[in-house]
Amino acid sequence: MTLSDIKILLTDVDGVLTDGSIFIDSRGGELKRFHVRDGQAIVLAQRVGLRMGIITGRPSTVTTLRARELGIEFVEQCAAMDKVQSLENICARAGVEEREVAYIGDDLADLPVMCRVGYPMSVADGAEEVRGVAKFVTSRAGGHAAVREAIEHILKAQGKWDQVLEEYGL
């Protein structure tokens, strides 16, 4: 398996797309902070053919809204222990094999998925066990453009990064 075989990048949310902080207001409303560079990279990746998805063990309206805003094709919000079932659902819907999937996680609940996909990745501040399973560990922490770094890593290996740069006249 090489990075050129990767057709879909799946990511966890809390601790990967966010720094793991969750803000709850006095009415029970939830807020999360997402990094704009992660969002831009997700949009650009999809433009050059890398499909995107989310598997999160913490369902949230905020996650649904962010995924919709970015046009993320696959969104699975499940119980933390059902992430493998979510992976299987996405692979079936997308018509891909698990070896054609990259996944970026940060904590123990991500390990079962990471052990099944073709290219597991971790954010820099991921749990030691998660970093140990990963084939690539970002230099950035979750919520601080780590997903952007992972996307660049994949697209450069696939020879698609130049297509992204062409959109900016480079």
Task: Characterise 142 by phi-psi region: left (phi > 0), alpha (psi -120 to 50), beta (else).
Answer: beta
Share of the chain above pLDDT 90, in %: 88
| Among 14, 15, 116, 122, residue whose Cα is nearest residue 60 | 14
CA distances from 166 to 48, 87, 120, 169 (A): 11, 33, 28, 5
Q: Which of 28-32, 62-66, 103-107, 145-149 has the lowest average pLDDT?
A: 28-32
Domain count, the chain: 1
Q: What is the pLDDT of residues 20-58, one digit of tens each?
A: 999 999 998 889 999 999 999 999 999 999 999 999 999
The whole-number pLDDT of residue 169 equals 82
CATH number assigned to the domain comprising residue 114? 3.40.50.1000
Q: Quote the pLDDT of residue 80.
A: 63
CA angle at residue 84 from 79 to 87, to 5 degrees?
105
Could you read off the pLDDT of 144-167 as tens digits, one per residue? 999 999 999 999 999 999 999 988
- What pLDDT, on the 0 to 100 scale, is given for residue 152? 97
Q: Of 72, 67, 85, 74, which Cα lies nearest the Cα of 18?
A: 67
Asked if 111 and 117 touch (Cβ cutoff 8 Å), the reply is no
Whether 51 and 74 have beta carbons less than 8 Å apart is answered as: yes
Judged by phi (left if over 0) then psi (alpha if -120 to 50, else beta), residue 15 lies in: left
Segments forming the whole domain that contains residue 84: 3-166
Beta-bridge partner residues of 103: 10, 120
Provide the 3-class DSSP secondary structure of residue 6. coil
